[in-house]
Amino acid sequence: MVLALNPGPLPDILIAYCARWRDRAFVNLNLSVNKESYNVYTFSPVRIADFDHGSGHGLCRGDVVVDIGAGDGWWARQMARFVGAEGVIHAGEIEQKKVDDMKGKCADSPQVKSYLIPLDSTALPDNSCDLAFLSKTYHHFNKGSHVDYLRHLHKVVKPTGRLCIIERHSAIPGGTRATEHGWSPGLLMQQAEEAGWVGVRCELIRGTYHFMAIFVQKELFPPEPERRRPEGRDNQN
């Protein structure tokens, strides 16, 4: 089951990159989290997702992002435009050749720090990132390691930060592409919750076979106030 707190179509401010639709334009990656938005009295899907045009939210100047499995650095270069010279994009890859190639392609974006990333962590300090971003990387993790890796990201991402995962939807027919290079949104939600994350948006990216899921840390939510029954009423539902 796919969580969809915002039932509307995905706005144009995120047009995902993926191999078959690489010529599509990247407009913006607006994944903002405002702690005040989680006040129990103002809780609403629109405020949580906050993908509205012109909202002023999203990747801000000075933000720190870790792009896990950054590939050729395409996403990193796009996000660098929004974090500005004050921000940092840690673009990790597990092969030195890919890191070297990415450094060349990101030479005009000095805030992109390409580095050799370990298989089991980001090698970054706790509470150091505003966004952890994975595009078509999650399915590559070693079997049985997904929850532990998400727990690690829970430590690396700041308390008001967020996690964004883009994957091919494994339930959409596509032969081995779907089975070997895809993931189930339901399984991702289950694993993320086990690791201390709360899914606030998950939906298909229109025009693709991919889905995007956004998570925040469960500690961000205040305890739900206890409901008091009006005096004089019995305990019947």
For residue range 31-67, what is the model confidence (pLDDT) as tens digits? Answer: 444 333 332 222 222 222 332 223 333 688 999 999 9
Structure-model confidence comparison of residues 27 and 139, the more confident one: 139
Question: Is the residue at 51 inside a domain?
Answer: yes
> Tokens in use for 192?
């993320």
Nearest to 79 by CA among 24, 12, 16: 16
Single-letter amino acid code for the residue at 216: V
pLDDT, residue 5, reads: 35
pLDDT recorded at residue 38: 30
pTM for the structure as a whole: 0.75
Other beta carbons within 10 Å of 80: 24
Q: Looking at residue 220, what is its pLDDT?
A: 87
Task: Report, as an integer, the average pLDDT of 101-108.
Answer: 96
The answer to whether residue 230 is domain-embedded is: no
Q: For all residues of the chain together, what is the average pLDDT?
A: 77
What's the domain count of the chain? 1
| Confidence category of residue 95, pLDDT binned at 50, 70, 90 | very high
pLDDT of residue 129 exceeding 90: yes
CATH number at residue 165: 3.40.50.150
Burial class (CB in 10 A: 0-12, 13-18, 19+), 11: middle
What is the spatial distance between Cα 141 and Cα 94, in angstroms, rounded to a whole number?
11
Question: What is residue 161's predicted lDDT score, i.e. its pLDDT?
Answer: 92
Average pLDDT for 16-33: 36
Q: Is the pLDDT of residue 123 over 50?
A: yes
Residue 19 has pLDDT above 70, yes or no: no
The answer to whether residue 92 is domain-embedded is yes
Stated as kind and residue range, the H or E segment containing 97 is helix 96-105
Phi, psi of 11, deg, nearest 5: -65, 165
* pLDDT for 236: 57
Edge-first strand order for the sheet with 210-217 is 112-116, 88-93, 64-68, 129-135, 157-168, 210-217, 197-204
CA atoms within 13 A on the CB side of 232: 0
CA-CA-CA-CA torsion for 23, 78, 161, 50, nearest 10 degrees?
-60
Helix (H) or strand (E) holding 2: none
Residue type, 91: A
Q: Which whole number is the average pLDDT over 200-204?
A: 89
Contact 157, 165 (CB under 8 A): no
- Asked if residue 25 has pLDDT above 80, the reply is no
Question: Which residue segment(s) compose the domain that 48 sits in?
Answer: 19-220
Pair 87, 66: CB distance under 8 Å? no
Give a yes or no: residue 210 inside a domain. yes
Q: In this structure, is residue 237 part of a structural domain?
A: no
Closest CA to 221 of 39, 73, 4: 39
Query: Is residue 4 pLDDT above 90, yes or no?
Result: no
Q: What percent of the chain has pLDDT over 70?
A: 71
Domain presence at residue 1: no
Q: Is residue 71 part of a domain?
A: yes
Q: Residue 2: inside a domain, yes or no?
A: no
